Structure 1
Amino acid sequence: MTDESSIADISPPKTTLNDDKTSLCQQLMSRLQALNSLTATTAVSKKQIWLEFLSLWFDILQNSVSDVPSCYKECSRLPHNMINKTSFYQLKRETDVARQTFFTCLSLLNLSHIKDYLKSTNENGAVSTNQAYCTQVNFMLSLLSEALPYLPLLSTDEEKIIEKSTELFTLLIEYVDLCMPIKSKTTEQKDYKLDSPIMDILSVLWNLLDRTVFVPTFLKCDLPKKVVLWLAQARMLLVESRQPLIHIALNISWHDEGADELNKYRAIAVIKQYQKKYIEDDSRLIVFGMVLALLSTPEQLKNDAKDMKIVLDKLLQLVINADINKSSRYNGFHISEPLGVLVKMFVVEEQTLDYTLCRAETEPPSDMHSTISLFISLFFKFSNALKGDNGLEQFTLTAILNILWSISFHPIYGQELLSDEKLIDTIKTFTDDHNQQEIVEQYRRRSMESIKSATYGILHNLNRKITNDIASDEKIVTHDIRESNSMKGKSDKPMIMISYCHKNDSFCTELFNLLTTHNDAFDIWIDRTHLQGVDDLWELIAYGIERSSIVVSLISSQYFESKSCRQEFVYAADSQKKKIVPVLLEKFEPKGWLGK
């Protein structure tokens, strides 16, 4: 038998919390010494050292400064030293390095004691309450800003991590707000310089919002209101301090809900005031033009015709210049950006299309033939986008098809498209469901419709027979669907078709429910009951219009901005001479193609 005294001899000594902290600190200090002793001689070794640094840095900072004070002290210059030792500013261009750096910094900033520090700093008027935390947070923000531009597509899980960081982003936005001239109570009336950490936060906001999917996350942080307030103070800021603000506003305005929020705080008036006095160079002029175009209503665009013509000149010139470059970029802009703005402008005001195609002032000079040829060549350039997973290229293809759709509504311009047989044949291929499988899910403004919708719209506008001749087997499928969906329950009663924008779905439901109480007198055709299991099939919608005696159109600003709704309305009123019963929603006044 083993006596109790021998058991006592082999039992581990009792430890206290302080002993545990001391042991942890010693382990971390040993790792710090080992890291500092490593030699970075090759690209591979530099990468390994940087990734080891990120791991150790996180392990240290996940503890509060009171738990491992000596480690924080030793760590005060560590990020700076590692940046130099590993040539991080070159290394960050590698995707895995950028990703690991970004998410390590984001995880650190989301730690409870770091967020508590940010809260206390905000409560003290942006004055640091702890120098140890201040130093590390500044490094986190700097590295976050440096890594983000080199992150490609994010996984769904990574997007969720960012979307769940609302509390952190709110704290950072509040920190920026406290450092702006008015809140900081500066006596300087101009040339006020924002500190590096603030510029890093603005850079992070700018780059994150470049991915429109994140705009709703920042709406929860009240960012649109803050941005308008910051732009109103731009007169007091240095040029480099105020430049990120308009880019943040532009990225917010790419999302319809973001644009609505900016308009709620009179963003157009503030931006125009800024535009008159503080445009530093020509590249900023195009940014202001893009923001105003995305925020403006059709009536505002029409009233600002002179300024908008200048913007259209700049947008088309930017497309021309970007097309020349292999990267499809020019002066910091990707070609998708001016194309995306043109999509919206061509929808809401027809005169913008006429001006852009026929009278825009560019270098070299352009005319209707050369401009339409430019859009056609861009279509061919990006026509293979669906074969890959590049979301930016797919967005560009979607924008180009929407522009070609707008062009196809006009008989003269449409003939330019119709005369290009290769164009028509290539567009036809996008009606094939197999060509839609690789589309990267991403946000589209309500003025920009899907590739398939645009494809059917173009083919219908140019010549409806083209749509019917896509393929013999598709004609059979279309006929079968017609029989099973559109002609199901066919009767001798007159039919009413409801034409509406899906943004007005709730009102449409109320109207549909009301009309169905009289189904003994007439039948109702609506997409939700007649297009079940069918996606974007214009053939069936056209057939519904043809069978209807009356078309009830729910007219709204969203209806006006939808090319699909325009196609339904024009086909019903002009081609089929159907009786149209307009139902005006909100306080919308029909204009443009609706006001004819």
Structure 2
Amino acid sequence: MDSQGSTADDDSPAIKETSSSFKKFHGPQSIGELKRHLYGDKQWKIAGNSIASVTTSVIPITVICNNLSKNWQTLLNFSYNTNDKERNEVTSLVYIIQTIVDISKLLDSDSLLLLPAFNRFVRLLSRIAMLPIVDETLKNDAKCARDTFYQLFHLLDSSPHLMKYLTHAYEWTDKEQFLDLPTRRFHNTIKKEGAILYETLLYVIFYTSNRACMFTVFEENDLDSYPNILKAFVRYIDHYLKITASSSNIPDIFFNTIPYNLAAQENLSLTWNLVDKTVIVPAFVAAGYPKAVLEWIQIPQLKVEHRKALVSIIHNIARDAKGAIELRKEDGVTVLERIQKEVIADVDESMHVLFYMAYTLLAREDQIEQHVKLENPLLRNIFTNLLINAITACFSVLEKQGMSQSGFHLSELLVVLEKLFVSDVLGKYLLDIQLRSDASTVINYTKTFADTLVACRGALTDGDKRGILACESLINIIWSISFYNPDDESNDDVKKQLSDFRSNLKSHPELILVLQGLKDNQNDAAKCILWNLNPEQKQISDPVLPYSGLNRKSTLKPEISIWISASGTTPDLDICSQLVNALKKNSSNQYVVLVNNDDTSWEKITETIDEATIVLFLATDDYYTSRYCRQAAIYTTNCNKPFILLWPYQEKHSCMKGWLKKLAGKNADPVPFRKEWLINGTETIQLVNDIFDVIAERTSHRFETKRDTFLEGSQPGQQLKKTTTTRPSAINSVVCNIA
């Protein structure tokens, strides 16, 4: 009896006699014979509890399958189509997979599934796909890798029986059959063998697609033609994890290698590698992966290989802007905090780093700062590993060995550091972690980042999306560090790094040339870096002189102009739009209200600030994390321009942290308001009056509102009439102007 429980004697004299015709094995001939036996009218029927054939003997097909199994290692050496010029081992593999997928359409009640010889050959498909020549061919032929990936995805998409199985696997079989337990009835055996066949085929398709995708360069929208496949993947894994977990512990694939477990894990691995290609992540977001993976990762019975794959998928989705938004909508930060203990309990340090990379991309800066303030040694160790990987990847670039290191692409690491360096607290925390290139030399991170930018600058124009992202992240990290003032530091090591960073502009001519070149190509970040680090050097930064009425001839006719500085996010721009309408509706004066955001060029920002009578900063969370907004605030204060901080109540933490707290001053609070005040008549008038009170105080402009009139030259707060309100007036809690 073989592993399938059959008593068929494959070494019978009849088989030996028939097999003599196969002494010289020929793969295409055997595959062709197999197809001829199985196509056309149904040939294999169930008669009672035995196998019977209508038109032919059971021996020939058994011999065919036995010969295919016996010679499985040579099957890829043959050509299975007429175009020999494009033939290679991978095209032969795809043809064989296609043949078995076509045969699998005949399932239903056919007893072909009960032939042990056929099942044995099908199970060998995975070993054929794992032959070293397959991986070698895919690695050395990018076109072949891409073609193979799409051929297999098209095969899956155009096979209704496999797609139905993916989305309705629970209708085919139950958990006991998947776990390979004995079955009582013959038709249940058909279902069981059918499930095993399908799972084996899916495993081979997933595995080969996975290997092919690793060597494929994807373009934007490449997976948009396969939404049904991605949605089917979600249902397939959802069923596997939830149903299996509800009945028993999810098996460890290293000790339970039945096809069901292997196929599910390979699908997770395939998804992991695909979402690592940031350009195609939107397709997975559209298929519902953000919600699904956050549900899956909370399943207590997960094994380490499943949890690591899911953490990696979350991390890669979070690298995409829309993906991060969807993960936050599903309360991703809370979910990650909930499973933190289970993740950290695992000994795999690489998973710890992946977990905190994902958490960093989703959480607010103040949430991460809270973890840092707890002085958790584990967190410091994780951030140290993150820095080690990033610096090592930078060294790899400097040594011209590529942008990948230890399984990470440089862009993956830098985009996380970019988020951390937005916060002065977190940025300086990282700079305080000392890494040494040898026993005595401490690595200067800022210099390493600058050197790496010089080395890989060509990727900005000639690189792929990940190369471009790596360069942009380096620029943004340097931009964030350029805000830090060495004179404010008490930590000598951090102070030295910041001082050295500034001196690099004078001692690092290549860096100067790179930044100057980027500036000439209208790169606003480079312009701002140069302005921050060398405000005295006109030839580098071309700074605008401190504000005065003679700075620039005004093009604004009204005597007063208000500039609202806001981030470019949709919620902030919506608030700005309502605020502009409220200001215009509740004033009889002629004036201009301008709104700038992250999409506005740096030249336009400086010009508008120079023209403005007063600046209103919409101090939301998004404003705090915007480098453009921080740059505008610095420029405003350097120009001695009057300003007001508008603070939305619902984001009460935004103004009381980091650089915004310094901007507000130690003894002054921002002007508070609620968004609903902009659509409520009484509250809107009060808010507008508060703003105009400050304008009168700061600018001494004659300004009329529907409430009262401010006289030019009047004392701050002096007014002809004043209305009462149910909330405290903000006039006495206006921020101070910090030069």
Whether contact under 8 Å (2:624, 2:630) holds in the other structure is yes
* Match in the other structure for 1:571: 635
Aligned residue type for 1:89 = D
Aligned residue type for 1:393 = G
Q: How does 1:406-425 map to 2 (within 5 A)?
A: 406-412=480-486, 413=498, 415-422=502-509, 423-425=511-513
Deviation at 1:344, TM superposition (A): 0.3
* Match in the other structure for 1:209: 275
1:286 aligns with 2:340: no
Given candidates 514, 519, 523, the residue that maps to 1:431 is: 519
* Match in the other structure for 2:215: 150
Unpaired segments ≥5 residues, structure 1 = 1-20, 437-451, 479-485
1:313 aligns with 2:384: yes
Whether contact under 8 Å (1:182, 1:233) holds in the other structure is no
* Match in the other structure for 1:255: 320
Paired with 1:63 and 1:560, the residues of 2 have a C-alpha distance of: 60
Whether contact under 8 Å (2:394, 2:403) holds in the other structure is yes
Deviation at 1:201, TM superposition (A): 0.8
Deviation at 1:98, TM superposition (A): 1.3
3-state DSSP of counterpart to 2:615: strand
Aligned residue type for 2:630 = R
Matched-pair identity in %: 24
* Match in the other structure for 1:107: 154
Deviation at 1:492, TM superposition (A): 4.3
Whether contact under 8 Å (1:550, 1:579) holds in the other structure is yes
Deviation at 1:568, TM superposition (A): 0.8
Given candidates 261, 272, 276, the residue that maps to 2:340 is: 272
Distance 1:261 1:566, change over 3 A: same
Whether contact under 8 Å (2:606, 2:632) holds in the other structure is yes
Distance 1:524 1:188, change over 3 A: closer
Q: How does 1:468-507 map to 2 (within 5 A)?
A: 490-503=556-569, 504-507=572-575
Paired with 2:537 and 2:335, the residues of 1 have a C-alpha distance of: 45
3-state DSSP of counterpart to 2:573: helix
Deviation at 1:495, TM superposition (A): 0.8
Q: How does 1:146-545 map to 2 (within 5 A)?
A: 146-152=211-217, 154-156=218-220, 159-160=221-222, 162-180=223-241, 183-188=244-249, 195-233=261-299, 236-263=301-328, 264-265=331-332, 266-278=334-346, 280-305=347-372, 306-307=375-376, 308-325=379-396, 326-347=401-422, 349-360=423-434, 364=438, 370-412=444-486, 413=498, 415-422=502-509, 423-433=511-521, 452-464=523-535, 466=537, 490-503=556-569, 504-517=572-585, 518=587, 520-527=589-596, 537-545=601-609
* Match in the other structure for 2:186: none
Distance 1:205 1:270, change over 3 A: farther
* Match in the other structure for 2:144: 97
Distance 1:365 1:497, change over 3 A: farther
Whether contact under 8 Å (1:122, 1:175) holds in the other structure is no
Aligned residue type for 2:289 = L
Paired with 2:525 and 2:233, the residues of 1 have a C-alpha distance of: 41
* Match in the other structure for 1:595: 661
Aligned residue type for 1:102 = F
Q: Greater CA radius of gyration, 1 or 2?
A: 2
Whether contact under 8 Å (2:200, 2:263) holds in the other structure is no
Paired with 1:375 and 1:38, the residues of 2 have a C-alpha distance of: 47
Deviation at 1:85, TM superposition (A): 7.2
Deviation at 1:431, TM superposition (A): 2.1
Paired with 1:22 and 1:569, the residues of 2 have a C-alpha distance of: 77
CA-to-partner distance for each residue in 1:257-288, whole Å, 9 max, x for gaps?
Answer: 4334444152222331223322x233233222
* Match in the other structure for 2:164: 116
3-state DSSP of counterpart to 1:163: coil
* Match in the other structure for 2:615: 551
3-state DSSP of counterpart to 1:595: helix
Distance 1:514 1:467, change over 3 A: farther
Deviation at 1:167, TM superposition (A): 2.7
* Structure with greater proportional helix content: 1
Instruction: Report how many aligned residue pairs link the two structures.
Output: 531
Distance 1:501 1:368, change over 3 A: farther
Deviation at 1:566, TM superposition (A): 0.8
Deviation at 1:429, TM superposition (A): 0.1
Paired with 1:387 and 1:200, the residues of 2 have a C-alpha distance of: 36
Paired with 1:560 and 1:398, the residues of 2 have a C-alpha distance of: 19
Paired with 1:85 and 1:340, the residues of 2 have a C-alpha distance of: 37
Aligned residue type for 1:220 = A
Deviation at 1:148, TM superposition (A): 1.3
Deviation at 1:467, TM superposition (A): 6.5
CA-to-partner distance for each residue in 1:551-574, whole Å, 9 max, x for gaps?
Answer: 122221111111011111222135
Whether contact under 8 Å (2:199, 2:263) holds in the other structure is no
Deviation at 1:66, TM superposition (A): 3.5
Distance 1:336 1:364, change over 3 A: farther
Deviation at 1:353, TM superposition (A): 1.8
Paired with 2:155 and 2:95, the residues of 1 have a C-alpha distance of: 11
Aligned residue type for 2:410 = I
Unpaired segments ≥5 residues, structure 2 = 1-38, 44-60, 179-190, 487-497, 545-551, 663-739
Paired with 2:434 and 2:323, the residues of 1 have a C-alpha distance of: 30
Paired with 1:60 and 1:202, the residues of 2 have a C-alpha distance of: 23
Paired with 1:133 and 1:86, the residues of 2 have a C-alpha distance of: 24
Given candidates 88, 95, 120, the residue that maps to 1:48 is: 88
Paired with 2:229 and 2:639, the residues of 1 have a C-alpha distance of: 55
Deviation at 1:465, TM superposition (A): 5.8
3-state DSSP of counterpart to 1:545: helix
Deviation at 1:163, TM superposition (A): 2.6
Q: Select between 490-499 and 74-83 the one with higher mean Cα deviation.
A: 74-83
Whether contact under 8 Å (2:344, 2:352) holds in the other structure is no
| Root mean square deviation, CA, Å | 4.1
Aligned residue type for 2:593 = I
Paired with 1:106 and 1:319, the residues of 2 have a C-alpha distance of: 34
Paired with 1:258 and 1:84, the residues of 2 have a C-alpha distance of: 33
Distance 1:363 1:191, change over 3 A: farther
Aligned residue type for 2:350 = S
Whether contact under 8 Å (1:456, 1:537) holds in the other structure is no
